[in-house]
C-alpha cells in the first residue's frame, strides 16, 4: 500500500450566481451568502476540505477576483481557516486556466500533493460522504487519472453536463466513457433511465503533473500563460496576484472542453452520494416561511428569503419571493431560470448599483 | 331664487387604510400617500373642495388624530391651502361625533354655511362632476335635507353600504327609500340589476341645524358631548384640540347608523358620476409596471407599487406586489381584502414598527 496522498484543496470562487439575484450581487455573489446554513457556501466548501479522517487536507488555496479578496479573507478568518494562498485573477479566464494555475502552484509549493479543484458555491449536505468519495478517487489520481465526481441524477435536468461511466477502475471509480454536454429534455430522460449517466459536479481531483501534461497536450497556450502568470505573480502575505499581462494572454476555456472531453485519463467517482447541489436557482432553496421576518399565510410550496425587509405573503403557491433592502424578486418557481432576464434588464437600464 | 349657499368643507381624516399595508402605516395612513397622482388622496380631497365654479367653498376644516396634525399642516401648505381649523380628536369616536362637531363648529364660525363632510381617503377622477353634484344637493340641504351621495354600482360589491333611491326631490336629487347595510353577494347582484341602488359614498351635505337636530333626536349623548368637547377646546393657531374628557364621553357610532338610517330628512344625489373610488384595497390601483423602479417581465394584470426598492417580477398574473424599505406584500388580487390578516399577524408578533 502506498503512502496516503496529501490533498491540496483549491477553491474556485469565480462564479457570479446571477440566478440568485437580488441576494447574489457582483460585490457579494452567492458563494458568500449564508443560503443553506449560518455559514456561507464558500465557508461550507472550505470546511468540508479540512481536517483528517478519510483524507489529509493541506491548508486551502482560493482562486478569485480582486474584488472578493477581502470577503474571502474575512470569511475564512470567521471559521478559523488559514489559507495557504489567495490567488487573485486579474481577469476571468474560465476553469482551464484555474486548473493549470492550481497544478503549477501545488507542484511548486506542495510537492507530492494532489489538487482537489472545487467550486466555492456548491452545497454538500454530507461532508463525510464527500470526503469518502475523495478518498476513493485519490488512488487513481495518484496514478495519473484526472478524476471527476458524478452525482446520480434525481431528475432529467437539462442544465448540467453529464458523465457516462465506463469500465470500473477501482472501488467506486470508473473510466469515463464520454462527457455529454447539456442535453435536451428527451435525452436527459434517457440518461436518467439508463443509470449509467451522472451529473458532472464540476469537482476535479488530479496530480499536478497529470493535469499539466494534458493541458500541454490539448491547450498548450493555456498551460504556458497560466504558469507564466503564476511565476511572475506579486506576493503580499497570503495574497498572490497573478501577472496581469500573462494571465490576460491566457485563452479562456473550460476545463471540461479544454481537457476532459479530450483526455484518455478521465475517471469518475460515482455516484457521489453526498446531497450535492450547486444551488443553481432559488428553487434549490425551498421554504423560508419559518423566518421571523416572514408571514406566509395560506401559502404553499413557496421559496421566501429576506435579508431584512419583512415579507407578508397571502394565498400564493409555488412562488419565489426574495427581498433585500434595495430590491425584490417575485417569480413562479417554474421561471427560476429566468431571473437573469432581470439582470439583463437592469444592465440595459444602467442600474449597476443593483447588479 | 335664494342666495347661493357657502359650503364649509369638513375633511375627515380618521381612517387607517390597513388594507393598503405596507405603504399605509399608522403614522402615515393611505390618505397621505400619493397613490393615484403626485398629490396625496388628502391633498386631492382638499383641492376638489376649493375655488368657485358650481359652488362657493370656504376654507376647509380637517378633523384628525393628534398624530397626523403635522403631516396635515405640511400637506396643505404644500398645495397652498390654508385651513380654517385643524380639529384634533383626543380619541377616535367614529363619524357621528365628527358630524356633530362639524355642525357645531360651522354654526358658530361660518353661520349660514352648509357642511360638506368628506373622507380624506377617496379618489374622485372628475372633481368638476363632484362639485356639480354638490351644487345639486345644496338646495335640498339648505331646506333641511341631509344629503348623501350615491355612486352607481359598477359591480356587485359586498363591501359597501347601499342607498335605495326613492321619489325625486329636485334635479338629480331623490328621497332615500332605505339605507342597506353591506349585502351578501346575491343581494348585491339584485341591487346592481335593479338600477335603484347606489353605493353610499360616505359624503354628507347638510345645514348645521338640521344635523344638530337629528343627532339631538336620535343620539342625544353624542350631540351633547361633541358640542361640549368643542366649546371647551384648546386653541393654538389653526389647531383646535377637542376637550379630552368630554370627547371621550361621547358614544362612538357611525353617522349612518346613528342618524341616516333613522332620519326622515335623508336625500341622495345620484348617480354621482365622477369616477369615485375609496381606494379600499390594492386592487383599486391597477398597473404600476411603468415605474422606472419596476421590471415586470411577462406579467399580466399586476398591481405593483414601490416607494424605493427595485421590484423585479417575472411571469406572474393578477398579483399584488408592494414594496417599501422595510416591508413587502405579495398576494393574489383575489385576496386583496385579506391584507389586514398580515396586520393582525404583525400585532400578534409585537411588530408595531411595521404597523
B241 and B157 in a common domain: yes
- B177: CATH: 3.90.550.10
CB B342 within 8 Å of CB B19: no
8 A C-beta contact, residue A51 and residue A28: no
Contact residues, chain B, for A342 at CB < 8 Å: 295, 297, 312, 314
Question: How many domains are there within chain A?
Answer: 2
Burial class (CB in 10 A: 0-12, 13-18, 19+), A87: buried
What percent of chain B lies above the pLDDT cut of 90?
92
The verdict on B322 touching A (C-beta cutoff 8 Å) is no
Give the pLDDT score at A197: 96
What is residue A107's three-state secondary structure? helix
Domain co-membership, A256 together with A313: no
Q: Using a pLDDT cut of 70, give the percent of chain B over it.
A: 99
Chain B CB within 8 Å of residue A297 CB: yes
Least confident of A183-197, A208-222, B48-62: B48-62
User: Are B92 and B224 found together in one domain?
Assistant: yes
B1 falls within a domain: no
pLDDT per residue as tens digits for the range A259-273: 999 999 999 998 999
The answer, yes or no, to whether residue B105 has pLDDT greater than 90, is: yes
Nearest to B149 by CA among B167, B135, B137, B157: B137
Which of 185-244 (B) contact A at CB < 8 A?
none
Q: Is residue A1 part of a domain?
A: no
* Cβ atoms within 10 Å of B21's Cβ, excluding its own: 25
Distance of alpha carbon A77 from alpha carbon A71, whole angstroms: 10
Nearest to B342 among A22, A314, A329 (CB): A314
Instruction: Verify whether the Cβ–Cβ distance A341 to B22 is below 8 Å.
Output: no
Residues in chain B closer than 8 A to A22 (CB atoms): 310, 312
Residues 6 or more apart whose Cβ sits within 8 Å of residue B183:
B158, B162, B191
Which of B221, B254, B277 lies at the terminal end of a domain, its last residue? B277
Residues 6+ apart with CB under 8 A from A289: A296, A299, A302, A304
Helix axes of B208-218 and B220-231: crossing angle, nearest 10 degrees = 130
Give me the residue from A314, A338, A345 closest to B341, CB to CB.
A314
A260 and A339 fall within a common domain: no
Question: What digits encode the pLDDT tens for the residues A182-211?
Answer: 999 999 999 999 989 999 999 999 999 999
**What are B251's three cell numbers?**
358614544
Would you call B339 an interface residue with chain A, using a CB distance cutoff of 8 Å?
A: yes
Which of B326, B335, B338 minimises the CB distance to A310?
Answer: B326
Cα separation of A206 and B272, whole Å?
A: 81
Please answer whether residues A233 and A74 qualify as being in contact, where contact means their C-beta atoms are separated by less than 8 angstroms: no
Q: Which residues of B touch A306 (CB under 8 A)?
A: 328
Confidence of residue A14 (pLDDT cuts 50, 70, 90): confident
Question: Domain boundary at A228, A246, A277, which?
Answer: A277
Give me the DSSP letters along A157-169.
-SSS-EEEEEEEE
- Asked whether residue A92 falls in the same domain as residue A231, the answer is yes
Report residue A245's pLDDT band, with 50, 70 and 90 as the boundaries: very high
ipTM at complex level: 0.90
Which grid cell sits at B285?
390601483
Whether the pLDDT of residue B7 is over 60: the answer is yes
pLDDT in tens, B106-126: 999 999 999 999 999 999 999
Do A332 and A192 lie in one domain? The reply is: no
pLDDT digits (tens, 9 = 90+) for B285-325: 988 888 999 999 999 999 999 999 999 999 999 999 999 99
A258 to each of A40, A176, A244, B86, how far by Cα in Å?
Answer: 30, 16, 22, 77
Residue that terminates a domain, selected from B252, B277, B302: B277
**Cell numbers at B350, concatenated:** 409585537
CB contact under 8 A, B328 and A323: yes
> Are A297 and B342 an interchain contact pair (Cβ–Cβ within 8 Å)?
yes
The answer to whether residue A51 is domain-embedded is yes
- All three cell numbers of A241, joined, read 496576484
Pair (B172, B320) in one structural domain = no
- pLDDT at position B66 is 95
The verdict on A75 and A222 lying in the same domain is: yes
Omega of the bond prior to B54 within 30 degrees of 0, cis? no
pLDDT tens digits for range B180-196: 989 999 999 999 999 89
- Chain B residue numbers with beta carbons less than 8 Å from the beta carbon of A312 are 21-22, 327-331, 339, 342, 345-346
d(CA B296, CA B311) in angstroms, rounded, equals 8
Answer yes or no: is pLDDT of B220 > 50.
yes
Asked if B331 and A314 come within 8 Å (Cβ–Cβ), the reply is yes
Asked if residues B324 and A323 have their Cβ atoms less than 8 Å apart, the reply is: no
Query: Would the CB atoms of B332 and A315 count as touching at under 8 Å?
Result: yes
The pLDDT, as a whole number, for residue B24 is 96
Regarding whether B133 and B17 lie in a shared domain, the answer is: yes
Residue A1 has what pLDDT?
Answer: 42
The per-residue pLDDT of chain A, averaged, comes to 95
- Which domain, by its residues, includes B145? 6-277
- The x, y and z cell numbers of residue B171, run together, are 334635479
DSSP string, A194-225: HS-EEEEEEEEEE-HHHHHHHHHHH-HHHHHH
- Dihedral pair phi/psi, residue A252, rounded to 5°: -90, 120
Please write the tens of the pLDDT for every residue from B143-174: 999 999 999 999 999 989 999 999 999 999 99
Do B29 and B45 lie in one domain? The reply is: yes
Closest by Cβ to B312, choosing from A309, A312, A327: A327
Same domain, A129 and A25: yes
User: If you write DSSP's letter for every residue of B129-194 in order, what string do you get?
Assistant: HHHHHHHHHHHHHHTT-EEEEEEPPSS--SSS-EEEEEEEEETTEEEEEEEEPSPPHHHHHHHHHH
Amino acid at each position: 500500500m502506498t503512502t496516503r496522498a496529501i490533498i491540496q484543496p483549491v477553491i474556485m470562487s469565480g462564479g457570479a450566481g446571477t440566478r440568485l439575484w437580488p441576494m447574489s450581487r457582483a460585490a457579494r455573489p452567492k458563494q458568500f451568502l449564508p443560503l443553506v446554513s449560518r455559514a456561507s457556501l464558500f465557508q461550507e466548501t472550505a470546511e468540508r476540505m479540512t481536517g483528517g479522517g478519510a483524507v489529509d487536507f493541506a491548508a486551502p488555496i482560493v482562486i478569485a477576483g480582486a474584488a472578493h479578496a477581502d470577503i474571502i479573507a474575512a470569511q475564512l478568518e470567521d471559521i478559523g481557516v488559514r489559507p495557504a494562498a489567495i490567488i487573485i485573477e486579474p481577469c476571468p479566464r474560465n476553469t482551464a486556466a484555474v486548473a493549470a494555475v492550481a497544478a503549477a502552484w501545488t507542484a511548486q509549493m506542495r510537492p507530492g500533493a494532489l489538487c482537489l479543484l472545487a467550486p466555492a458555491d456548491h452545497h454538500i449536505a454530507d461532508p463525510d460522504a464527500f470526503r469518502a468519495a475523495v478518498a476513493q478517487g485519490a488512488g487513481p489520481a495518484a496514478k495519473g487519472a484526472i478524476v471527476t465526481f458524478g452525482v446520480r441524477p434525481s431528475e432529467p435536468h437539462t442544465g448540467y453536463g453529464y458523465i457516462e461511466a465506463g469500465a470500473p477502475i477501482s472501488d467506486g471509480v470508473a473510466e469515463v466513457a464520454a462527457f455529454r454536454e447539456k442535453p435536451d429534455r428527451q435525452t436527459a430522460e434517457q440518461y436518467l433511465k439508463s443509470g449509467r449517466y451522472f451529473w458532472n459536479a464540476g469537482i476535479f481531483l488530479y496530480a499536478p503533473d497529470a493535469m499539466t501534461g494534458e493541458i500541454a497536450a490539448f491547450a498548450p497556450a493555456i498551460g504556458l500563460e497560466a504558469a507564466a502568470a503564476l511565476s511572475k505573480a506579486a506576493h503580499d502575505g497570503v495574497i498572490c496576484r497573478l501577472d496581469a499581462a500573462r494571465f490576460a494572454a491566457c485563452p479562456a476555456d473550460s476545463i471540461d472542453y479544454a481537457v476532459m472531453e479530450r483526455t484518455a485519463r478521465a475517471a469518475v467517482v460515482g455516484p457521489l452520494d453526498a446531497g450535492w447541489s450547486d444551488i443553481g436557482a432559488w428553487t434549490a432553496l425551498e421554504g423560508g416561511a419559518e423566518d421571523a421576518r416572514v408571514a406566509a399565510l395560506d401559502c404553499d410550496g413557496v421559496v421566501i428569503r429576506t435579508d431584512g425587509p419583512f415579507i407578508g405573503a397571502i394565498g400564493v403557491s409555488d412562488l419565489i419571493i426574495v427581498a433585500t433592502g434595495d430590491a425584490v424578486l417575485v417569480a413562479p418557481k417554474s421561471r427560476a431560470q429566468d431571473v437573469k432576464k432581470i439582470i439583463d434588464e437592469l444592465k440595459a437600464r444602467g442600474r449597476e448599483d443593483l447588479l
